[in-house]
Structure 1
Amino acid sequence: MMRAWILPVLLVLSGSALATGQIFKGNPGTAAALLLAFLAFAGLNSPLIFPRSIGAREAQRRSAVDGRPVVFWRPGCTYCVRLRIRLGRSARRLHWVDIWRDPAGAAMVRAANDGNETVPTVLVAGRPHTNPDPEWVREQLSPSA
């Protein structure tokens, strides 16, 4: 769990240090802009923007019942952030598994990607798709898919 917060915390601390330096130089506007930029970047790289993660086995069980895809992700992954943002509100309809919190999920991703923990890996109808196009993932959510 702690590993997921290392990058966001470092970004907040770095932004705070830079902002403090700008305040001492007499540039409060620049300090505020820097701090806001670092806070936004920290937020994008934190687990906060993702729907609540569940275990891989539970996600697969739910997916078998409702047919929704399972997304294996990890905090700090820019491709995962891209997928999450491009899906918008549709992202809440997927089953999300944080591979840093779930060893079974990490093992499934490694099995699907020749031993690599390449994310996002999306499981649709039992078949893994590595770093798929967000529009394709959205199509998998449609009732006709």
Structure 2
Amino acid sequence: MMRAWMVPVLFLVCGSFAATGWVVRGFSVATVPLLLMFVLLAGVHSPLAFPRSVSAVEARRRSAVDGRPIVYWRAGCKYCLRLRFRLGRSAHQVHWVDIWRDPAGAAVVRAANDGDETVPTVVVAGQPHVNPDPAWVRAQLSPSR
């Protein structure tokens, strides 16, 4: 779980050092936007930017009932962020599994990717798709399916 927060904490620490340096140099007015930028980057790269994760077992169970895709992801992955933000409000219709919090989820991803933990890996109807186009994932959520 600690791994998921390393990048956001690093952004906050770097932002704090940069802001302190700017205050010391007399740029106190410009410090606020700089610090806000680092806080925003930390938030976007944190697990908070994603819907609540479930375990791989629970995601498979829910997907079998409702037919929705399962997205295996990890915090700090730019491709996972791209998928999350491009899905928009539809992101809550997908079952999200954080592979850094769930070893079973990481095992599913490794099995689908020849031993690599390549994310996002989206499983639709039992078939894994590695880093699919967000428009394709959104199409899998359409009610006509």
Say whether the fold is shared (TM-score over 0.5): yes
Alpha-carbon distance between aligned partners in 2 of 1:64 and 1:48, rounded to the nearest angstrom: 26
User: Matched residue of 2:92: which SS?
Assistant: helix
Alpha-carbon distance between aligned partners in 2 of 1:2 and 1:63, rounded to the nearest angstrom: 28
Q: Which amino acid aligns with 1:128?
A: P
User: Matched residue of 1:32: which SS?
Assistant: helix
Alpha-carbon distance between aligned partners in 1 of 2:130 and 2:19, rounded to the nearest angstrom: 39
Alpha-carbon distance between aligned partners in 1 of 2:73 and 2:109, rounded to the nearest angstrom: 9
Instruction: Give deviations 1:71-114, integer Å, cap 9, x for gaps.
Output: 00000000000000010010011000000000000000000001
Instruction: Give deviations 1:106-145, integer Å, cap 9, x for gaps.
Output: 0000000010000000000000000000010000000112
Aligned to 1:86: 86
Structure 1 segments, 4+ long, off by >6 Å, are none
- 1:34 correspondence with 2:31: no
- TM-score using structure 1 length: 0.98
Question: Considering only aligned residues, what root-mean-square deviation do their CA atoms show, in Å?
Answer: 0.7
Gaps (5+ residues) in structure 1?
none
Corresponding residue pairs, total: 145
- 1:6 correspondence with 2:6: yes
Gaps (5+ residues) in structure 2?
none
Deviation of 1:37 (Å): 1.1
- TM-score using structure 2 length: 0.98
Percent of residue pairs bearing the same amino acid type: 68
User: Matched residue of 1:108: which SS?
Assistant: helix
User: Matched residue of 1:42: which SS?
Assistant: helix
Matches within 5 A, 1:1-145: 1-145=1-145
Deviation of 1:12 (Å): 0.3
Deviation of 1:36 (Å): 1.1
